[in-house]
Structure 1
Amino acid sequence: MVKLIECVPNFSEGRRADVIEAIVKPFKETKGCYLLDYRADPDHNRLVVSLVGEPEALEESLIKSAKVAIENIDLNKHQGAHPRIGAVDVIPFVPLRNTTMEECVEFSRKFAQLFHDETKVPVYFYEESALRPERRNLEVIRKGQYEVLKEEIIKPERHPDIGEPKLHPTAGATVIGARKFLVAFNVNLHTQDVNIAKAIAKAIRSSSGGFSAVKAIGLELKERGMTQVSMNIVDYEKNALYRVLELIKAEAKRWGISIAETEVYGMVPAAALLESTSYYMQIADFDPNQVIELRLLDLLGRD
């Protein structure tokens, strides 16, 4: 019985094509590791990679890739719209096939120790792997980003879970953990006023009284002359994409602006897209099993 885990490592590099290709190379070459997608955003200055693999293959390829990133990324010189504390910023593990959340938590902690031993980068645990309840949320760990953490890591409440209370001189720190599948969903706005994007993000995110399982920030996309509401939908079954999008449309209308486009970053469950497709097409009593490819995959995947 093959155990499969999804992993979505985020690296603080979205502009240098040669470095990006060097980072993803181990994922292409390691047997048992399958590179599904990788996308680099120059405004965010961030690379998001989607992998699926057996635990041993993920472990091997991630260590090789991390060493490339650490060698080539200097957080003291890094600038980008997306929050970050490390060259290898976050490594989440998601149970996929024949793997439980408990097994993913155990694997994440074992991997984190190996990661630190090999790189000397301090590690924080988050989500299901968190050792402190307040650290379940990534934004708590990343508060103030690299620049603030560099000064505050000596405080007991900001000590890493693995490693000494000091950042790697150029690679910062890394956040590792096990979590549920999330959808990285962005909405780009026809305005260069980032304060509008921030106001809309505040209206829809959970921490400000918006949707229960939505995290959102407002960002500036200088190269595209737009702004963005960048979101993580941490439970797409509770918060359908169409519902989130419709509220953003309503909020944008209040400011007299429109939506330019939306983006889905990385992989996404078919159910998350089909629910919104059904809504916008007004399909009555739609069942995902009506999609022939999904039905065939279900039949082929049965033991």
Structure 2
Amino acid sequence: MVRPALACCKLYISEARNAGALRAIERAAAGLRPAAVLVNAFADDDYNRVGYTLVSPLAGDVAASPPPLHRAAFRVVAAALEAVDFGVHAGAHPRLGVVDHVAFHPLAGARLEDVAALTRAVAADIGDKLQAVPTYLYGAAHKDGRTLASIRRQLGYFTPTSLGGEQWRGAPDAWPSSPLPVAPDAGPGTPSRSKGVVVVGATAWVDNYNVPVRTADVGAARRIARAVSERGGGLASVQAMGLAHGDGAAEVACNLLDPAAVGAEQVLERVRRLAAEMGVGVGEGYFTDFSQEKVVELYLQ
């Protein structure tokens, strides 16, 4: 039997502590099962952030009849915007909105260009139907292939907003009253304090891999992250941030953009070497989601 082409949607929500909000979001995520299946949820209380992974066949005419993955992703975004107030959010992970990031990836048999078309349709619905959040595209869904890191940098994602630079309290103070630095691809031109903005994109598979660093010195974690990342002259296709993570601890949080070429073992080895040079211990690295092979297996079960 020929299996349908599959696609994946990862949604990163700026909430992990409000049990009622999480229940509402997860009900929305599970509402189209078995057509779209929630295969993973990873919550981090210190970051006050949760990631959901949906898998579904990439089928149907995107313009005429949205496929299940489109509808499931939209349901999760709508539920999150209803349940979470970004204006009171606090956590050690940077973010731009209630729905901080929505990433679509092709899985078995799917083409990136088809996933990109789906992504653009979902982003248009978020911006136009909900009329709640400015919506930005990146990757294959954006006309110029803008990267996630690029649009985040333009919107101030990497700028701490607390004394000492260890916490991000949400959207910049000026957002509700001044134009955004970059015009959104969909939705209103001005964000609300309670919702922020959302970034939606399509790329090949990305592994999210974090390495605990046994130090209260977040600056040390940031120096390690910089040296590990491609941007800092480190490992190709690796993005990394050094973040506070719990009392007296930090971690190097990484996006592995080409995990087949540069994987977790290489990242862990590099972090260990750099940390040892600073006299800092390192814990065991961990993924925040399953591998792409595993998410396909879980969908098919």
* Global fold match (TM > 0.5): yes
Q: Matched residue pairs, number?
A: 271
User: How far apart, in 2, do the equivalents of 1:175 and 1:140 lie?
Assistant: 8
1:33/1:57 contact within 8 Å kept: yes
What is the CA distance between 1:269 and its match in structure 2?
Answer: 4.1
Residue 249 of structure 1 corresponds to: 272
Residue 141 of structure 1 corresponds to 152
Residue correspondence of structure 1 range 105-144 to structure 2 within 5 A: 105-120=116-131, 121-133=133-145, 135-142=146-153, 143-144=155-156
- Between the aligned residues of both structures, percent identity stands at 28
Determine if the alignment matches structure 1 residue 173 to structure 2 residue 184.
Answer: no
- 2:50 corresponds, among 47, 53, 59, to 47
Inter-partner Cα distance in structure 2 for 1:247 and 1:183: 17
Q: Is the 8 A contact 1:153 1:167 kept in 2?
A: no
Aligned residue number for residue 238 of structure 1: 261
Which deviations, in whole Å up to 9, do the C-alpha atoms of 1:81-138 show, x marking residues without a partner?
Answer: 11211111111111113321110111111111112223212110011112345x3233
Do the aligned residues in 2 keep the contact of 1:94 with 1:101 (CA within 8 Å)?
A: yes
Letter in 2 for 1:41: D
Q: Is the 8 A contact 1:10 1:48 kept in 2?
A: yes
- Between the aligned partners of 1:255 and 1:152, the Cα distance in structure 2 is 44
The DSSP-based 3-state class of the residue aligned with 1:43 is coil
Scaled by the length of structure 1, the TM-score of the pair is 0.83
Instruction: Provide the secondary structure at the position in 1 that maps to 2:88.
Output: coil
Q: Greater RCO between the two (CA within 8 Å, min separation 6)?
A: 2
Give the partner amino acid of 1:71. Answer: E
Pairing 1:1-303 to 2, within 5 Å after superposition: 2-31=4-33, 32-55=35-58, 56-120=67-131, 121-133=133-145, 135-142=146-153, 143-145=155-157, 146-147=171-172, 150=175, 154=179, 158-223=182-247, 225-269=248-292
CA contact (8 A) 1:35 1:52 kept: yes
Whichever of the two has the greater Rg, that structure is: 1
> Is the partner of 2:52 in helix, strand or coil?
strand
Q: Which amino acid aligns with 1:147?
A: P
Amino acid at match of 1:46: R
Structure 1 pair 109/149, CA: closer, same or farther in 2 (3 Å)? farther
Ranges in structure 2 where 5+ consecutive residues have no aligned partner: 59-66, 158-170
**What letter is aligned with 1:205?**
S
Preserved CA contact (<8 Å) 2:28 2:79: no
Q: Distance in 1 between matches of 2:120 and 2:139?
A: 12
Inter-CA distance 36–67: structure 2 relative to 1 (3 Å threshold): same
CA contact (8 A) 1:63 1:118 kept: no
Q: Partner amino acid for 1:154?
A: P
Compute the RMSD of aligned alpha carbons: 2.3
Shift in CA distance, 98/214, structure 1 to aligned 2, threshold 3 Å: same
In structure 1, stretches of 5+ residues that fail to align are 272-293
Is 1:152–1:158's contact at 8 Å kept on the other side of the alignment? no
Structure richer in helix, relative to its length: 1
Partners of 1:126 and 1:138 within 8 A in 2: no
